[in-house]
């Protein structure tokens, strides 16, 4: 069911996993730190990455490899203080997504505090099924990040922060989840779509599906 069928599981050859969102026929957005190998202190190669559509309890409807990865030049996970607002990645798939999975639009507009949002992903609590918080709010901004109160744990990194699309027609990606705050106050963080919207527009203009 939309928009959740457009949320994917991103796997690495190192058995790491995160969440991503399909935003083009061959384009997935996720968190940059999901692709970092702490042993080599480098980003993983595209050949080490896999996108699973319809993942549920070890089963999935389609497995697609990754042909290319783009990350923000300002993001260095090996740094003592990585720039969290640059923690995003765009994956170009080796083949188009299934026709049954619609790409989500991207909303790069500034959003006011109080805006209703949703967040979905494969959290560490129940990693084998897609979980979603469908009743949360944007709290504001901090350090270039969107602050929200959606439930988020490890594994939901890269999951789309969703907002009602223009004219209320479906949902759009307002950001990519990258960090969870400490209890008891729920304050979790997402990179706003404005950080990677220009790259998506450039790819679209170049004719990338």
**pLDDT tens-place string over residues 51-71:** 999 999 889 999 999 999 999
In a domain? residue 105: no
Instruction: Specify whether 140 is located in the same domain as 74.
Output: no
pLDDT of residue 209: 55
Instruction: Specify whether 134 is located in the same domain as 79.
Output: no
In a domain? residue 140: yes
Read off the pTM: 0.93
Number of domains in the chain: 2
Please say whether the beta carbons of 73 and 64 come within 8 A: no
* DSSP E strands, 54-185: 62-71, 89-93, 116-121, 131-142, 145-148, 160-164, 171-180
pLDDT of residue 202: 81
Instruction: Using a pLDDT cut of 70, give the percent of the chain over it.
Output: 92
Instruction: Specify whether 75 is located in the same domain as 154.
Output: no
pLDDT of residue 181: 75
Instruction: Specify whether 74 is located in the same domain as 131.
Output: no
CATH number for position 36: 2.40.10.10
Dihedral, CA atoms, 111, 113, 117, 121, nearest 10 degrees?
A: 100
In a domain? residue 206: no
Instruction: Specify whether 85 is located in the same domain as 134.
Output: no
Please say whether the beta carbons of 35 and 98 come within 8 A: no
What range does the domain containing 141 cover?
A: 116-193
* pLDDT < 50 stretches in the chain: none
pLDDT of residue 187: 85
pLDDT in tens, 75-98: 999 898 999 999 999 999 999 999
Report d(CA 32, CA 78) in Å as an integer.
Answer: 12
Instruction: Specify whether 8 is located in the same domain as 89.
Output: yes
In a domain? residue 128: yes
Residue for token digits 């999951």?
159
Instruction: Specify whether 122 is located in the same domain as 168.
Output: yes
Q: Which residues contact 123 (CB under 8 A, 6 or more apart)?
A: 131, 151, 152, 153, 154, 155, 156
Instruction: Specify whether 148 is located in the same domain as 188.
Output: yes
Instruction: Specify whether 13 is located in the same domain as 76.
Output: yes
In a domain? residue 54: yes
Instruction: Specify whether 24 is located in the same domain as 82.
Output: yes
In a domain? residue 63: yes
In a domain? residue 80: yes
Instruction: Specify whether 130 is located in the same domain as 59.
Output: no
Instruction: Specify whether 124 is located in the same domain as 76.
Output: no
């Amino acid at each position: 069911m939309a928009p959740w069928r457009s949320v994917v599981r991103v796997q690495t050859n190192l058995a790491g996993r995160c969440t991503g969102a399909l935003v083009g026929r061959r384009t997935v957005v996720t968190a940059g730190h999901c692709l970092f190998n702490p042993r080599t202190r480098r980003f993983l190669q595209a050949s080490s990455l896999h996108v699973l559509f319809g993942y549920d309890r070890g089963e999935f409807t389609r497995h697609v490899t990754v042909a290319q990865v783009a990350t923000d030049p300002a993001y260095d996970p090996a740094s003592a203080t990585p720039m969290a607002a640059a923690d995003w990645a765009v994956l170009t798939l080796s083949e188009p997504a299934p026709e049954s999975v619609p790409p989500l639009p991207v909303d790069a507009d500034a959003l006011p505090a109080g805006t209703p949002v949703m967040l979905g992903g494969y959290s560490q609590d129940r990693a084998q099924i897609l979980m979603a918080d469908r009743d949360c709010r944007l709290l504001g901004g901090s350090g270039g990040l969107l602050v929200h109160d959606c439930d988020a744990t490890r594994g939901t990194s890269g999951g789309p922060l969703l907002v009602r699309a223009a004219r209320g027609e479906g949902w759009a990606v307002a950001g990519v989840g990258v960090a969870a705050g400490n209890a008891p106050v729920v304050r979790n963080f997402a990179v706003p779509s404005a950080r990677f919207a220009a790259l998506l527009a450039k790819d679209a203009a170049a004719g990338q599906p």
